[in-house]
């Protein structure tokens, strides 16, 4: 029986996910690579974060989105699972908005981090 948990996300763009993890100072490796779990069990993932305890956290493509894959019993990152996913999701959304906007000719005109941790972005596009 597998000890791995798969947690659904709304993350669909690998590049934005990788940028989000980099923003958070995570040392991630690109895959496909094995996520190491209990008693030598492994699961393949496209992004893997190695933990100091020998167990990994990964993001695996399920055909629709990237799921967080980990043996939660051995979670040793600085934040709880929920807090970690919240931070990743916020940075992922930021990069997705900026990249999609740039593809449509928009650029960041203003950026403000609010006291509550939210980010206010203003994009603009000049037309001739």
Token duo for residue 86? 């919240």
Q: How would you write the pLDDT of the chain (128 residues) with one tens digit per residue? A: 568 999 999 999 999 999 999 999 999 999 899 999 998 899 999 999 999 999 999 999 999 999 999 999 999 998 999 999 999 999 999 999 999 999 999 999 999 999 988 899 999 988 76
- Write down the pTM of the prediction: 0.87
Burial bucket for residue 120 (CB in 10 Å: 0-12, 13-18, 19+) = exposed
**Domain extent listing, the chain:** 5-124
CA distance linking residue 123 with residue 113, whole number of Å? 15
């Amino acid at each position: 029986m597998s000890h791995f948990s798969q947690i659904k996300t709304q993350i669909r763009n690998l590049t934005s996910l990788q940028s989000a993890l980099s923003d958070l100072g995570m040392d991630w490796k690109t895959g496909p690579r094995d996520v190491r779990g209990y008693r030598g069990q492994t699961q393949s993932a496209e992004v893997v974060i190695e933990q100091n305890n020998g167990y990994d956290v990964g993001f695996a493509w399920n055909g629709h989105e990237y799921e967080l894959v980990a043996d939660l019993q051995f979670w040793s990152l600085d934040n709880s699972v929920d807090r970690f996913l919240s931070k990743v999701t916020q940075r992922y959304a930021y990069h997705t908005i900026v990249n999609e906007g740039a593809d449509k000719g928009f650029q960041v005109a203003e950026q403000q981090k609010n006291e509550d941790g939210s980010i206010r972005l203003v994009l603009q596009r000049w037309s001739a």
